[in-house]
Amino acid sequence: MNGNLDTVWARIQARLSAEIGDGAYNSWIRPLRLIGRERGSLRLDAPSKFMRDWVASHYSERLRVLAATEDESLTGIVVKVGGKREETPVEAANEADVSVLDPRFRFDNFIVGKSNELAYAAALGVAENTKVKYNPLFLHGGVGLGKTHLMHAIAWHIREQTPDRRVLYLSAEKFMLLFIRALRDKDALSFKEQLRSVDVLMIDDVQFFSRKDSTQEEFFHTFNDLVDRNKQVVISADRSPSGLEDIEERIRSRLGWGLVADIHQTDYELRLGILQSKLDNVDGMEMADGVVAMLADRITSNVRELEGALNRLVAFAELVGRPVTLEMAQDVLQDVLRANDKRITIDEIQKRVAQHYNIKLADMHSPRRARNIARPRQVAMYLSKVLTSRSLPEIGRKFGGRDHTTVIHAVKRIEALQQTDSSLAEDISLLRRLLQA
């Protein structure tokens, strides 16, 4: 019965996309869902109140005209917030805040590479499966590598595919804010009930939970309660569970019980893939050969910066109205390129790690296998893998000509140890920050 309406809606979308451009279209129109005909009007669902209001105030007139053009029996447009169930105050708080779910963060525009394939597969698993397989799913990695993107993608996916499953996404900061507000308003009980009524709870950036805070305790109770009842919990942080120094030991260790998926630094292929996919969405953008490769080669810090650089180039090209040449790109992006050139080297890593463990720099290259030397050397190999874009054989060569399998072994070993040895995890998080400063 919706067959005809589907076509009508598709045609309206196509026309509107051409009129308002991809950016606005993807933000506001694409997330709308066609529900059907409601008393002569075309009924659409928006994913949040904010989006409903925005669409109503900016596009409803145009939508109405386009609808009537496509099918003259359509006399109006009705936009409502999706789902039938009542909203809880927490959800309402979510809905009112447009920053909560970014309409651009979806699975279909997340580019998968070696560095993020585990995190991606696990996130998709959570979104697609109603059965809980690993709890919690703990995503960690440096800034700008896609943690929030994956969490929002889980939420969008569930809202669209299984709207009966209740999913709640909160940043740790928002969680703290809501909890403190609930305490102030003597409403803590209903806050707790709301949190515990969800099927999937996601808390982003838990490294922001501050030390010895009652919100940490509250989070932990909620977490335990949900896990006990087989509800899915997804957590993200900029470091592994055992590296979360401000979080109490028993909470920390519990966070590592499910699946811990580390998002590594990007490699060249992934950066290239991301740039190409972004460029595909910009109409009529022309870049000289080599510009994209140069960006992928030199902007290695994180995806956010890579996107930022590309956006700047696109804006610049639009402004000057001619194709971007390599010289132009280098000129426009001078500051970003220079900052990225200061990237971390294996030499620096070796130096820092040797200092930290008080061993000789030469021991990084030596064949000695005593534990007090071998372990720091493994730490340095691990850091070289996660903080630089060097390949395993290249790293091996830098460590006294070792084989790449030795490097793989070191990386795996340190990854595993970090889960159980909190002092090692702290060493690593400290070294990471020193090197990245």
Q: Which positions lie near ligand ADP, rule CB under 6 A?
A: 105, 109-111, 116, 141, 143-149, 274, 303-304, 307
Near Mg ion in 63-82, by CB under 5 A = none
- Work out how close the CB of 118 gets to ligand ADP at its nearest, in angstroms, rounded to a whole number: 13
- Alpha carbons within 13 A on the beta-carbon side of 397: 5
Sequence-distant (≥ 6) Cβ neighbours of residue 15 within 8 angstroms:
66
Could you say which of ligand ADP, Mg ion, none residue 252 binds, taking C-beta under 5 to 8 angstroms by partner kind? none
Nearer to ligand ADP, 146 or 256 (CB): 146
- Work out how close the CB of 146 gets to ligand ADP at its nearest, in angstroms, rounded to a whole number: 3
- Work out how close the CB of 113 gets to ligand ADP at its nearest, in angstroms, rounded to a whole number: 7
Could you say which of Mg ion, ligand ADP, none residue 111 binds, taking C-beta under 5 to 8 angstroms by partner kind? ligand ADP
- Alpha carbons within 13 A on the beta-carbon side of 431: 26
Instruction: Name 45's bridge partners.
Output: 33, 80
- Work out how close the CB of 372 gets to ligand ADP at its nearest, in angstroms, rounded to a whole number: 35
Nearer to ligand ADP, 306 or 324 (CB): 306
Q: Which amino acid is at 363?
A: D
Could you say which of ligand ADP, Mg ion, none residue 350 binds, taking C-beta under 5 to 8 angstroms by partner kind? none
Q: How far apart are CA 395 and CA 407, in angstroms?
A: 7
Nearer to ligand ADP, 237 or 407 (CB): 237
Nearer to Mg ion, 89 or 142 (CB): 142
- In the three-class reduction of DSSP (H, G, I as helix; E, B as strand; rest coil), residue 27 is classed as helix
- Work out how close the CB of 269 gets to ligand ADP at its nearest, in angstroms, rounded to a whole number: 12
Under a CB-based contact definition with an 8 Å cutoff, are residues 82 and 158 in contact? no
Q: What angle do CA 135, 262, 265 make, to 5 degrees?
A: 160
Residue 289, judged by CB atoms within 10 A of its CB (0-12, 13-18, 19+), counts as exposed
- Work out how close the CB of 147 gets to Mg ion at its nearest, in angstroms, rounded to a whole number: 5
Could you say which of Mg ion, ligand ADP, none residue 240 binds, taking C-beta under 5 to 8 angstroms by partner kind? none
Sequence-distant (≥ 6) Cβ neighbours of residue 347 within 8 angstroms:
398
- Work out how close the CB of 171 gets to Mg ion at its nearest, in angstroms, rounded to a whole number: 8
Could you say which of ligand ADP, Mg ion, none residue 304 binds, taking C-beta under 5 to 8 angstroms by partner kind? ligand ADP
Nearer to ligand ADP, 90 or 270 (CB): 270
- With contacts defined by CB under 5 A, how many residues of the chain interact with Mg ion? 2
Residue 341, judged by CB atoms within 10 A of its CB (0-12, 13-18, 19+), counts as exposed
Nearer to ligand ADP, 48 or 116 (CB): 116
Q: Which of 148, 302, 388, 418 binds Mg ion (CB under 5 A)?
A: 148
Nearer to Mg ion, 147 or 271 (CB): 147
Q: Two tokens at 423?
A: 């002092």
Q: How far apart are CA 82 and CA 52, in angstroms?
A: 9
Nearer to Mg ion, 203 or 359 (CB): 203
Question: Which residue has the CB atom at the shortest distance from ligand ADP?
Answer: 146
Q: Which ranges constitute the DSSP H helices of 71-187?
A: 89-96, 117-128, 147-161, 172-184
- Work out how close the CB of 273 gets to ligand ADP at its nearest, in angstroms, rounded to a whole number: 8
Q: How far apart are CA 223 and CA 220, in angstroms?
A: 5
Give residues in contact with Mg ion (CB under 5 A): 147-148
